[in-house]
Amino acid sequence: MANRSTVTEFLLTGFSDDRDMQILHFVMFLFIYLTALVGNFLIITAVALNHHLHSPMYFFLVNLSLVDVSYISTTVPKSLSVSLTNNRVISFPGCVTQVFLVVTLVGFELALLAIMAYDRYVAICHPLQYRLIMSRSACIQMTAASGISFLLHAALETSFTFRLNFCGTNIVGQYFCDIPQLQMISCSSPKNNQLLILVVGLSLSFFSFALIFTSYGYILSAVLKIPSVQGRYKAFSTCTPHLTVFSIFIVTVVFSYMKPKALSSRTVDLLSAVFYTVLPPTLNPIIYSLRNRDIQEAVQKIPTKIKNLVA
C-alpha cells in the first residue's frame, strides 16, 4: 500500500477539551467497555461449557460475541487512552489498521446476522431437515466464507482510502480513523474512491440484506399458518433476540452514514459513531441473555461448571 503523502500520523478528535469532561468520558467508556467484554465472554463461556448449547444457533452466537469483542476493542481502548493522557496522536500504520479492522468487523457482523436469520428460517420452516442442512461443516463453511469475503472487502476499501494523498491537515474529525472523515481531509479528490467504495460495499451488503429479509418473509408466513396462538408465540420468540439485535445494528449504522448533512456537526458525528461502534457490542449479549432462558440458565451454571473442571 504505497502512500506518498507527507502525513506520517493523524490526530483524533476528543469528546471534549475540558479535563473534567475527559475524565467523565474515560469513566463512562471504561464502564461500557467492561460491560461489553463481560457480557460477551459470559455468553462464549456459557456455550462452551454446556454441551446442550452446542447447536448451530449458539455456534453463530459465539462467533457474533467474538466479533463484538474485537469490534469494540478496535476503537474504544484508543479513545480511553486519548481521554486519559490527552494524547490524540495515532500513527499512520495504526490508522490503516483501525480502518481495516472496523470495515472487516462491521461486514462480518452483518454477514453473521444474515446467516443467523437463515438458521432461524431453516429451524422454523424445515425443522425435520434442520440438522442435515445446518450441519457442523455447513456452519463452519458459511462462517469462513463470510469472514474471508469481508477481509478482502476491507483490504480493498482500506487500499482505496489510503491511496489518497494526505498533505494538509491531519486532524480526523472522529474519535477513531473512519473512512468518511479521512476522505474529507485528503488533498486529492475522493469522488472516485467514494464511488468504488459505495459500489463494492453495496454489492456485498446486498446479499446479506436480501438473505435476512427473505428469511424473515418465509418465517412470518410459516408462523402465521400455525393454528395455536401459543405455537405462534413460541416459534416467533426464538427470532425476537435476533430481530432486536439486527434492528439496533442497522438503525445505528444507517443513521451514522446516511443522516442528512443538515444534522451533521462535530457532536452529532461523534455520538452517531458511538451508536454503531459501541452500542451493538454492548447490548447484544444483554438482549440475548434477557430473551433466552437457555443462556440465562447456562450463565448461572458457569461457577459450578468451572468448579467441576478444576476439581
> Which DSSP string corresponds to 105-167?
HHHHHHHHHHHHHHHHHHHHH-GGGHHHHT-HHHHHHHHHHHHHHHHHHHHHHHHHHHTS---
Question: Rounded to the nearest 5°, which phi and psi values hold at 227?
Answer: -65, -40
Which band of pLDDT confidence, cut at 50, 70 and 90, is reported for residue 309? Answer: confident
Q: Which of 134, 132, 99, 100 is nearest to 116 (CA)?
A: 134
Residue 95: exposed, middle, or buried by beta-carbon count in 10 A (0-12, 13-18, 19+)?
buried
Phi and psi (nearest 5°) for 8?
A: -110, -10
pLDDT on residue 3: 45
SS3 content of the chain, % helix, strand, coil (to 5): 80, 5, 20
Q: Answer yes or no: CATH 3.30.70.20 is held by domain 11-310.
A: no
Q: Is pTM beyond 0.95 here?
A: no
Give CA 141 to chain center in angstroms.
Answer: 20
Per-residue pLDDT of 38-51, as tens digits, reads: 999 999 999 999 88
Dist. CA 115–CA 100, nearest whole Å: 22
Look up residue 53 and give its DSSP letter: G
Q: Over the stretch 103-156, which tens digit does the pLDDT of each residue have?
A: 999 889 989 989 999 998 998 889 899 999 999 999 999 999 999 988 998 998
What confidence tens digit (pLDDT) does each residue in 66-92 have?
999 999 999 999 999 988 888 899 999
> In whole angstroms, what separates CA 85 from the centre of its chain?
27
For the record, the C-alpha cell of 236 comes out as 416467533
pLDDT the model gives residue 283: 86
> Longest C-alpha distance within the chain, in Å?
68
- As a whole number, the mean pLDDT across the chain is 84
Which conformational region is residue 135 in: left (phi greater than 0), alpha (psi within -120 to 50 degrees), or beta? beta
pLDDT of residue 2: 44
Cell of 52: 446442550
Show the CA angle centred on residue 255, arms to residues 114 and 260, nearest 5°: 140
List Cβ neighbours of 191 (8 Å cut-off, separation of 6 or more): none
41 exposure class (CB count in 10 Å sphere: 0-12, 13-18, 19+): middle
Three-state DSSP state, 305 = helix
In the chain, domain spans: 11-310
d(CA 83, CA 221): 50
